[in-house]
Amino acid sequence: MDVHARPPAEVTDTKLLRRAFGAFATGVTIVTVGGATPHGMTANSFATVSLDPPLVLICVGREAVMHQVLSHTGAFGVSVLAAEQEAVARYFADRRRPLGREQFDSVDWLPGGRTGAPLITGALAHFECALRRTYDGGDHSIFLGELLWMDRSLGDDALLFVDGGFRQVEPKRSDVAI
């Protein structure tokens, strides 16, 4: 037996659970919906699911304003933030920001051509998605989106979130696909 091994942590301890989950570095996105009640939120629960058909997922807390708005809108946008957009990430994570259209007054954005969802200017990538399906994810819902449109800018550093804080990393330039 390894004398340096620690006893397993209780998975019901939410502080320890959050700290352990935080060891996994993620990109930082702004998820948005357009329509009569536009809304945005910072999210790091974003992942690709499939190339054929092109699918992505986002996870949204059931208590979040975005949960109800997205459920009714049926489409969403995702802006993958560049390293210099930490202030944008913090703004859309702040529950004290204004709601509705007014929350977009302090950021540069363009309406998505397919969904009308606000897309953050200067982001590394943009995706517009039609909501395909929603799944139960405990205290979150998993929203599966089918890509309608996307773009990617090159040459910028990505904004990351790890261990409870924002980080920057320069993308490695190579011809190797992962």
141 CB-near residues (< 8 Å, 6+ apart): 59, 60, 62, 67, 71, 134, 135
Which domains are delineated in the chain?
A: 27-159 (2.30.110.10)
How far apart are the C-alpha atoms of 69 and 90, rounded to whole Å?
A: 21
Taking only the tens place, the pLDDT of each residue in 19-65 is 887 777 778 999 999 998 899 999 989 999 999 999 999 999 999 99
User: Which pLDDT score is estimated for 175?
Assistant: 54
- How many angstroms separate the Cα of 22 from the Cα of each of 19, 53, 97, 100? 5, 30, 25, 30
Point out which residues pair with 35 in neighbouring strands: none
User: Which pLDDT score is estimated for 169?
Assistant: 67
Mean pLDDT of 143-169: 84
Q: How many beta carbons lie within 10 A of that of residue 1, not counting itself?
A: 4
Mean pLDDT of 98-109: 96
Mean pLDDT of 153-175: 71
How far apart are the C-alpha atoms of 125 and 138, rounded to whole Å?
A: 29
Residues 63/69, Cβ–Cβ less than 8 Å: no
Residue with tokens 């060891």: 23
